[in-house]
Each structure stands twice: as structure tokens, then as C-alpha cells.
Amino acid sequence: MRISVARTVALLAASSVALAITACAPPEKESAASNSDAAKAVSVSDLGGLDKLVEAAKKEGQLNVIALPPDWANYGEIIKAFNTKYGIKVNSAQPDASSQDEINAANQLKGQDGAPDVFDLSGAVASANTSMFAPYKVATWDDVPAALKDANGTWVNDYGGYMSIGYDASKVPAPQSVADLLKPEFKGKVALNGDPTQAGAAFSGVVMAALGNGGSADDISKGIDFFGQLKKAGNFLPVDPTSTTVESGQTPVVIDWDYLNVAQGAKLQGKMDWKTVVPSNAVVGSYYVQAISKDAPHPAAARLWQEFLYSDEGQNLWLGGGARPVRADAMAKAGTIDQAAYGKLPVTSGEPVFLTDPQTAKAKESLATNWAKAVG
């Protein structure tokens, strides 16, 4: 056995040497893309106007987006519109991925043609990874409220919404408050979009439950307790709600962003009476974040995508999907907003709550330890 031991040792030694090499990331490939003018442009004027940007983007011909589900904030339509308008092919990877998956993919595919060009991230993931973004200020930059963007343009909020309860009106009575969901009529019917320790939407769902049950943004334990009670009452449905489960009637009540629930209702019009309510005095809001990858293989197309998203057209497309675009106020003032869609957004009562960073951190800690216990 002495020999095999010796060989094992040799193998281990070889491995550690190799490991030392692996530990450092592979060198970045010098690509034409990362040195192009577009990659350095921080605004459209750096390239000599929108026409020049369009020209450069068309030359690249492609755009890689990631984690954009077609039924999320109208992304299906947005991608189609962008493609039609500029003739640029949009490669939509892993539509179902999480924000962290976007960052992981960008790291794993670094230097590849398939690496993501642009990100659509939750605030927490974005602020942890700002070093991966290329700053860029869109033409409509001034319309975005200062609180909703990084001063250098490293990231910008894109669209947001409020936590809501979507429900099949033919199966359950309209819930007025979060606490209503504990009633026996909701037995085995209430689903939450994801695991709050993993998905941003579900996280905000727990915050909403906390607000609706006398908790606050500083203490979400009441929200976790609420889901514990929901589970004990047999009302909580541990199913990941998707358009399939809603359509087939498996998840008659879904706690999710209002824009997703509204879009669901629009999609099912005529088939199902899917309604959306933002519970009173439990209004939790959150914006997603838009950023360009520093290593974008198609830097011009990435910037053109941003220009498109923040144009009136792009903003109205988000609005069409029930999301509240970041320029909504400015556009309402200028009269360029899609009034019909704007009017259809669910009404809210009470001051919306946006969690601050320390509040978020505290809430996460509480969730990590207690969530599995509450619903397990």
C-alpha cells in the first residue's frame, strides 16, 4: 500500500499546484468588442448621436439578454419590438434565472460571445456587483429621479411595482387585507412567487405580510409568523406559481408583484377572472435595476437597448405589462404616457414602503434562520 499512498500524495501535490492556477481567474481575452468606441461611451453623444449608435449596434447584429421571462413586465413584447425596430437579433438566455444567476453567468461566460450584454437585477444583487457594470447615461437620464439612479450612471432603476395579491375571483372571495388569507375559504390556495430566501419577489411578499400584520420594515418577523400560520391553517400552497399553474387553476391565489399579476389577468382575459389587489396599508414597493455589462460582447447593442428601454416607447411597453416605468411621472407631465395603461394600474392606499439597505440586511438575516422553520 505504500506505493498507492505515495501516488495519492503526488496526486494531491499536483492538484494543489493546479489549484493555485485555477484559483486565479483566466486572463481576459482581448476582444475587439471591449476596445471599441462603444464600449467606452458613457452617453450617446460620445458616439456622435443616436444614428451612429444604431449603426454600430446594427453592425454587431446581436444582443444577449438574460433572465427576462417573456411574461415578466412585458419583456416578450419589448424584445420583439426592439428586434423589429433595429433588426438586431436578441438572444434571450435562461429566462427563468435569478438575478444572482445573471451575475454567475457573466462570470462564467466572461470573454465569450454568449456572455450577457445587459442585466436586469434586483437592487441587492446590483449594489453588490457594481464593479461589473459599465456606466452609461441614456438620453432621457434627467427624467429619472435622483434617488432611483447611480449618479455616475453605473446603474439605473428601470421599472417597479407594488406587492399584490392576485386571485381567481370565481374561486375565492376578494381579499381586502393580508390577514384575510387566513380564512378557511383560502384553504390550500395561497402561493408565494418563490422562496423568500432566494427570490426578491417572494422576499417582498414576506415584507408585505409583515406590514399587513402590524409589523414594520424594521421587523419582518410578523410576516414570517404570518406564513407560519398560513401553513398551519393548511392555506399555504408550497408550489412555485407560474402562468401554467394559474391557468390550470392549481394556484388560485398568488402573492407577487402587481405587474405580474396584472399581466396574468390580461393574458387570461375571457378565460378566467384574475384580479389583482394591493392590500391597504401594506404597500411594499421595489424597483429593478438596469445595467450594462463591462464585458459586453456587443457594447453598442447593449447601449442601444438601454436607449430603447428608457425611450417613451420602451417605458410605455413596460407600462403595458403593468409595471411602473421609472420615467412615469415625467412622462405623465409631458403627456407622452400611455394613459389607458396608466389608468389600469391597481390602486394603492397608504404610503408605499421601500426598504432601506440596513432594513433589508436585517430582514434577510431573520429570513435565513426562520423561514424554513415557518413553512417546513
Partner 1 sequence: MAGVTRRRARRQRAFRWTIVTLLGIFFLLPLVAMLEFTTRGPNGTYTLETWKLLVDWGQLGETYPDLATGVANSFGQVLLTVALTLLLLVPTVVWVRLRLPRLRRVVEFLCLLPLTIPAIVLVVGLAPVYAWVTYFLGGSALTLTFAYTILVLPYAYRSIDAGLSAINVRTLAEASRSLGASWATVIWRVVLPNIRSAVLSAAFLTVALVLGEFTIASLLNRSNLQVAVNLLGKSSATMSVAVSLTALVLAFVLLMLLSLVGGGRRRTSLKETR
Partner 2 sequence: MTVVTPHPDPVAPAPGVRPAPAARRRISLPGRDLLGVVPFFGFIVLFLAIPTLVVVIGAFTGDGGGFTLDNVSALGTSYILEAFGRSILLSAVTAAIGAVLGGLLAYALVTAKPDGVLRRVVTSASGVLAQFGGVTLAFAFVATIGLSGFVTVFLRDHLGVDIYAHGVWLFELPGLLLVYTYFQVPLMVIVFLPALDGIRPQWREAAESLGGSTWQYWRMVAMPLLAPPFLGSALLLFANAFSAYATAASLVSQGSPIIPLQIRGALTSEVILGQQNLGKAMALGMIVVVALVMWLYAVLQRRSTRWLG
User: Which one of partner 1, partner 2, none is in contact with 203 (Cβ closer than 5 to 8 A by kind)?
Assistant: partner 2
User: What does 310 bind: partner 2, partner 1, none (CB cut-off 5 to 8 Å by kind)?
Assistant: none
174 binds partner 2 (CB under 8 A): no
Task: State the nearest-atom distance from the C-beta of 354 to partner 1, in Å.
Answer: 29
For the chain, the first-to-last Cα distance in angstroms comes to 48
Report the candidate in 104, 118, 121, 134 with the shortest Cα–Cα distance to residue 35. 134
Residue 223 interacts with partner 2 (CB under 8 A): yes or no: no
- Per the CB < 8 A criterion, the answer to whether 61 and 88 are in contact is yes
Cell of 157: 432603476
Nearer to partner 1, 110 or 364 (CB): 110
| 271 binds, options partner 2, partner 1, none, Cβ within 5 to 8 A by partner type | none
Query: Considering only 139-147, 167-175, 248-256, 343-351, which stretch makes contact with partner 2 by CB under 8 A?
Result: 248-256
Q: Does residue number 350 form part of the binding site for partner 2 (CB under 8 A)?
A: no
Choose between 112 and 245: whose C-beta lies nearer to partner 2.
245
CA Rg value for the chain: 23
Question: What is the C-alpha to C-alpha distance for residues 219 and 359, in angstroms, rounded to an integer?
Answer: 8
Q: Which of 145, 173, 214, 238 binds partner 2 (CB under 8 A)?
A: 238
| Residue entry with cell 457594447 | 299
Residue identified by cell 398568488 is: 254
Other beta carbons less than 10 A from residue 23's beta carbon? 7
80/364 with CB nearer partner 2: 364
Going residue by residue from 8 to 47, which x/- string records binding to partner 2, judged by CB under 8 A?
---xx-xxx-xx--x-------------------------
| Residue 115 touches which of partner 2, partner 1, none (Cβ within 5-8 Å per kind) | partner 1
155, 133 contact by CB (below 8 A):
yes
Q: How far is CA 51 from CA 35, 44, 57, 212, 247, in A?
A: 20, 9, 10, 50, 44
